[in-house]
Structure 1
Amino acid sequence: MIMTTHIKRTISRLVLIAVTISASTVLVGCLNEDPRDRISADEAYGTADKLLLNTVGTLYNYIGGNADSQGLQGTVRGVYDFNTFTTDEAMIPTRGGDWYDGGFWQSLYKHSWTASDNALYNTWNYLYKVVMMCDQSEKILNERRALLTDAQLNEALAEVRGLRAMYFFYLMDMYGRIPLVTDATTPVDSIRQSERSETFRYIYNELESVAPSLPDVHSNLQNDYYGRFTRPVAYFLLAKLALNAEVYADDDWTDGVRPDGRTIMLDVDGQTMNAWKACQAWCDKITAEGYELESNYAANFAVHNETSRENIFIIPMDKYLYANQFLYLFRSRHYNHGAAIGQDSENGSCATISTVRTYGYGTDSVDKRYAINFYSDTLRVDGKIVKLDDGTPLVYMPLAVKLDLSGDAYEKTAGARMSKYEIDRKAYSDGKLQSNDIVLFRYADVLLMKAEAKVRNGEDGSAELNAVRSRVGMSPRPATLKTILDERLLELMWEGWRRNDLVRFGLFNKAYDQRTPLDNEQTGYTTVFPIPEDAIYHNANLKQNKGYSD
């Protein structure tokens, strides 16, 4: 064994040891540690087990979160919200005195955010905080390599580098031109932004380099690598990078011209192929790892979903063990809906009209995933109709939603609400501390990526598309870019990929649902977010993205 069973299980349970790690404040303005909280380096790293726990293990405390803008999913005003409520998938309407919040949620839907937005800066800080911790972990592992066997060191370094590459992926995807800092000793005055294409190539090459040294394990299962960055996770990100190569290799996303994926060449295990073939190759490697579609779509999101054959990377959730929170069901359902299940609610987020129309709502051919993904129409809990305070039934109105519902007859009830994740009736904190693992990467996405890559390369992606559809009992469709984009909404609703999809399809900056483009948005400048002005304040070397004021 590379690590002792004890240390692997300790890391997989995300145990946080009381050690703080110094990091540069150039990119992250919130890491001013109190030296009195620190323990000595020998206490933190003096044995192999302590070294691995305090370099690799501590990084996993940040995949999820319990505060705003922290974690990849589960919390609010962070990565998930910026990739969901900026799209045609969902919105958080203003409901009278609720959910205006200084216009924040409306700005997401309208794309009228600014560089001074605190949530954008806090999200930037969160992502770079973990990058800097990875840099520091890599440095310490190399300094104390004598404590480890070669196998232990190679695996630990691969895991740290893989995690760092993943965080760079989110930064590059959201902010475009970012500082590519991979050395904890980098001087402040030498930190510069890299072109997006450079960062893209770095992430791709880094993941391909570390993949062979990562454990070849399904980390969504409750094994010694539960919740960790393993080889299939790297393969998934490589496939996602290849699929988005036209976007990520484009250093000027405002000129209306993209490179052609057929001419973007990528390496796959020593073979050079175009981006679409590379995407297919990485998808095939994931299939070879033994992932398959669950016969029951909903099983992937059930309470205790650790046995899923489909989930690839998850945020471990256990109401008895972890502080990670999942706020999205709580945020969406009506107050009386929450009361009916013995929990509270915030009566906020809902699907857009265009989304429920894509599902066929209001027709005689509604997609079978609709009833799993949404609470809609007359609400029943445990077979009983839920009532409003005036004694009338609670009826969610999917087609009545508007960005501002203030004064509307359906102010509190408009919109189909988030379902998808089974409600943990024994959850704590009004359902936010649940035992359903949060799904980040899933095999259905792999099949849809492969279908799309095939179509973009002039091939037939129908087999992969219809494998996803047949699993839920839906009839076959020809694989076109439109049917694949629609299927990604039907299958991946509420999973945080919609912005990434719309940007790749060239639709993010267009009119959709009830949104009209901003002045000059046809240039595509909103397909990346602005570099936060507070980040520029801390590092004058940073330059603002095109289209935003400096």
Structure 2
Amino acid sequence: MKRILKLTLASVALIAYSCTDLDDELEDTVTEEFSIEGVSVGGGGADGGPLLAPFGRLRSGSAGNTGFFASQSVPSDEMAVGQKGGDWFDGGIWIQLHRHTWDAAHERIGEAWNDAYGGIGECNIALAGGNLNTNQTAQVRALRAYFYWRLLDLFGRVKIVTAPGGDAPQSERTEVFDFVESELLAALGIPAVTAGMDLSGSDLGTEVNNYRINQYAALGLLAKLYLNAEVYTGTPRYQEADWAASYIIDNSPYILCDEGCVAPNLSKRPEVDSDPETLEGYATVFAPNNENNPEIIWSIEYNSVGLGGMNFNQMTLHGPSQLTYGLDAAPWNGFQVLEEFYNSYEDGDARKEANFLVGPQTDFSGNALIDFASDDDDLQVVYTPEINELEPNSIRQSGARMKKFSFEVLGRQDMNNDYPIIRLGDVHLMRGEARARAAGDWSLSLPDVNAIRARAGVAPLTSIDAAEFLAERGREMFQESSRRTDQIRFGTFDDVWWEKTNTDAFRSLMPIPFSQIQASNGTLTQNPGY
């Protein structure tokens, strides 16, 4: 059944918005598909069966203000969560993440641990159940390897548990690396990644299904693993990263979503002429209707009915912006983009327009958006790139807001955008970096970097070094849970930046959660420094 919903916004006096770390999910009983101006919204979904539970666990903590996303993004130079008076202090957890002063009892870090092991547990149950065919078995082994990659990247020394309800001794980081590599190679049916590898014997297929793991998704995970191998093990594996990424680029059907890659703009307000009718190129990769985007190799499926967990609209928008998009709930006004990161984009970069919301804001009809609880005498909502302070009174309209995963009109707290884990733009940058590092010559990355820049509508670079490559990777991969890992690999994670002066090198690893150590009966020990 299709319903036509018409929204009328009356004049509303917005007295105050007290928004903080809200984890409550509001259930909505309206589940039918609906249309706006002839654009169908909703529907879709991956197949069910024995893969449903393991892949479903990916939604926990991947695109919300908890777990993996928080642990990867807020400690980086991308974004912060400023304390706005009594809002978003939450016991200091966001300030600790930004200033690198967290400890082993930190809630968000503990969630990242629990989410990964929750996913591993579902994979182990599926593998032990005897209901999987060979392709499904290979997919679940690769998925479990991905969950272990998260643990490898964040915590290093963890337990490799491969049976339901089982336990294991704590493994060193090199052992976890070896396990992740061996599981992905086994799924691909090859002993090693080489220049001329033959994947014809793989139990993984080549079918395009963004919500499942095919050969190209598994190779993307291996490229990510090998690119960071020197951090994880002390031994570089850049050649293998190059081979894995090159195989995807040369053999897969995926393309960079560029000119001609278009989708209806579900953020279009019917009465606002300046809102484009369609999106093209980079912006379509992250839109609410991105489920069949030709650049996405593997993504996490989200939707507003039954597959929730992505709530970027709530996390970043100020409360009055509810009236911009006709959202069903007032946003929480938390996450802000750091000014220096925002300014790393040049004007005319399509990614700058797609990734950030800045400047004067308007309501659903295009009129000035008013905040009667404004911090100053200007009542119109204006998102300013500069942020006055991290705490205790970060101005409520300060900071560019993250908009990469764009907000559809009449949206709910749970968004419909799918969240890419592996996409071709990232694969190009992984290949470029791997080639540069293997040869010690950053100019070798220019073909891949400039392919990405051409799609963004900015001029090609004629020269590049490590710092510029990291900046370019940041511009492309913003909000995709990549920045912490990238900064560690490039040696900048313990640098000083806005409101962050702690340079403890040991914080490149997160602490093993204290609650897990307590429950382990001495089988888990803490990472150095904590």
* TM-score, structure 2 as length reference: 0.79
- In the alignment, what sits opposite 2:349? 367
Give SS of 1:91's match.
strand
Q: 2:396 aligns with which of 386, 401, 412?
A: 412
Per the TM alignment, residue 349 of structure 1 is displaced from its structure 2 partner at its CA by 0.6
Per the TM alignment, residue 492 of structure 1 is displaced from its structure 2 partner at its CA by 1.2
Per the TM alignment, residue 405 of structure 1 is displaced from its structure 2 partner at its CA by 5.1
- Is this contact kept in 2: 1:318–1:433, CA < 8 A? yes
Note if 1:216 corresponds to 2:199: no
Give SS of 2:256's match.
coil
- Superposition RMSD in Å: 2.0
Give SS of 1:325's match.
coil
Give SS of 1:283's match.
helix
Per the TM alignment, residue 514 of structure 1 is displaced from its structure 2 partner at its CA by 2.9
Distance 1:170 1:401 in 2: 34
Q: 2:256 aligns with which of 290, 293, 296?
A: 293
Would the alpha carbon gap of residues 525 and 369 (structure 1) be closer, same or farther in structure 2, given more than 3 Å must change?
A: same
Note if 1:395 corresponds to 2:379: no
- In the alignment, what sits opposite 1:75? 64
- Within 5 Å, give how 1:124-523 maps onto structure 2: 124-141=113-130, 153-184=133-164, 186=166, 188=167, 191-211=168-188, 212-220=202-210, 227-250=211-234, 259=235, 261=236, 275-287=237-249, 288-295=251-258, 296-320=281-305, 322-343=306-327, 344-360=330-346, 365=347, 367-381=349-363, 383-389=366-372, 392-404=379-391, 406=393, 411-428=395-412, 432-458=413-439, 459=441, 460-477=444-461, 478-518=463-503, 521=504
Distance 2:79 2:143 in 1: 29
Note if 1:545 corresponds to 2:527: yes
- In the alignment, what sits opposite 1:28? none
Distance 2:103 2:456 in 1: 41
Give SS of 2:523's match.
coil
Give SS of 1:207's match.
helix
Letter of the 1:355 counterpart: F
Deviations 1:91-136 (A, max 9, x none): 0001111111110100000111111223322321221122122223
Note if 1:118 corresponds to 2:107: yes
Note if 1:13 corresponds to 2:46: yes
Give SS of 2:283's match.
helix
- In the alignment, what sits opposite 1:97? 86
The ranges of structure 1 where at least 4 consecutive aligned residues each deviate by more than 4 angstroms after the TM superposition are: none
Letter of the 1:294 counterpart: C
Per the TM alignment, residue 513 of structure 1 is displaced from its structure 2 partner at its CA by 3.0
Deviations 1:426-453 (A, max 9, x none): 333xxx2232222222211111111111
Deviations 1:55-101 (A, max 9, x none): x332122111xxxxx34x22222100100000100000011111111
Deviations 1:113-163 (A, max 9, x none): 11122332232122112212222322222xx6xxxxxxx632121112111
Of stretches 85-94 and 367-376 in structure 1, the one that deviates more from structure 2 is 367-376
Instruction: Give ranges in structure 1 of 5+ residues lacking alignment.
Output: 1-10, 16-52, 65-69, 145-151, 221-226, 251-258, 262-274
Per the TM alignment, residue 474 of structure 1 is displaced from its structure 2 partner at its CA by 0.5
Would the alpha carbon gap of residues 462 and 247 (structure 1) be closer, same or farther in structure 2, given more than 3 Å must change?
A: same
Would the alpha carbon gap of residues 426 and 14 (structure 1) be closer, same or farther in structure 2, given more than 3 Å must change?
A: farther
Give the share of equivalent positions with the same residue, in percent. 28
Distance 1:136 1:488 in 2: 37
Letter of the 1:427 counterpart: G
Distance 2:302 2:179 in 1: 31
Letter of the 1:387 counterpart: I
Distance 1:121 1:335 in 2: 29
Give SS of 2:414's match.
coil
Report the number of matched residues: 439
- Is this contact kept in 2: 1:350–1:416, CA < 8 A? yes
Per the TM alignment, residue 500 of structure 1 is displaced from its structure 2 partner at its CA by 0.6
